[in-house]
Chain A
Amino acid sequence: DGGITQSPKYLFRKEGQNVTLSCEQNLNHDAMYWYRQDPGQGLRLIYYSQIVNDFQKGDIAEGYSVSREKKESFPLTVTSAQKNPTAFYLCASSGQGAQGNSPLHFGNGTRLTVT
């Protein structure tokens, strides 16, 4: 079955450590996204990529970094500069990039806890 795989499901880190969240898709989608979800808030866009080797900052990119070396992979690194990293992180992909009407396909998320 085609889909998006996020790993790990749960991740625990000490404050001051960088951590990388994995996102892989086999849907052959050009566009990929990282969102952060906090209780009582909508999704907030961290980074997005419309094509391999290119990505753009979203609304809350500070303290995060990404790479897009392969079409199917879009890893997110949460750096020690992120002030409040504990959250639920969602990766998504879509087939039409910037054309606007293609729905997003989501992974099942990674819950990151930093203590």
Chain B
Amino acid sequence: AQSVAQPEDQVNVAEGNPLTVKCTYSVSGNPYLFWYVQYPNRGLQFLLKYITGDNLVKGSYGFEAEFNKSQTSFHLKKPSALVSDSALYFCAVRDWGNYQLIWGAGTKLIIKP
């Protein structure tokens, strides 16, 4: 079965430190992977995607993600966290059965001053 796992419900990071939000996936066929961010009571905003090519993908707001095929992971990273990065982060993978997205449960990122 195709799936996405975000193993951490919450991640706490001090401002200025690097951050990582983890995502692993299981999909038949080539993985199309996405990261979205959601601020309270708002819709989701697209951050970045991996379709093919370089394993390190750069996205909005200084975020990047590393695709690792052998570990079936697509972790979101940022070298230096900001308090304004505090939000809910979702990983998603394309389901090639119906072309829709399969979503992780989300990880709450809290950046402390």
B101 adjacent to chain A (CB < 8 Å): yes
CA distance A104 to B32 in the complex (A): 13
B102 nearest CB neighbor, chain A only? A42
Please count the residue pairs between chain A and chain B whose beta carbons lie under 8 angstroms apart in the complex: 60
Q: Report the interface size for chain A: residues with CB under 8 A from the other chain.
A: 27
CA distance A9 to B44 in the complex (A): 15
Contact of A109 among B41, B96, B106 (CB under 8 A): B41
CA distance A6 to B98 in the complex (A): 25
Task: Give the 5 A-B CB pairs with smallest separation, nearest first.
Answer: A106-B43, A42-B103, A103-B46, A98-B99, A43-B103
Taking Cβ atoms with an 8 Å cutoff, the residues of B that contact A are: 4, 9, 32, 34, 36, 41-46, 49, 51, 90, 92, 94, 96, 98-106
Taking Cβ atoms with an 8 Å cutoff, the residues of A that contact B are: 4, 6, 33, 40-45, 48, 56, 58, 90, 92, 97-101, 103-109, 111
Q: List 28 A-B contacts (CB under 8 A).
A: A4-B43, A6-B43, A40-B9, A40-B105, A41-B106, A42-B90, A42-B103, A43-B90, A43-B103, A44-B103, A48-B100, A92-B44, A100-B94, A100-B96, A100-B99, A101-B32, A101-B51, A103-B34, A104-B36, A104-B44, A104-B101, A105-B46, A106-B43, A107-B43, A108-B41, A108-B42, A109-B41, A111-B41
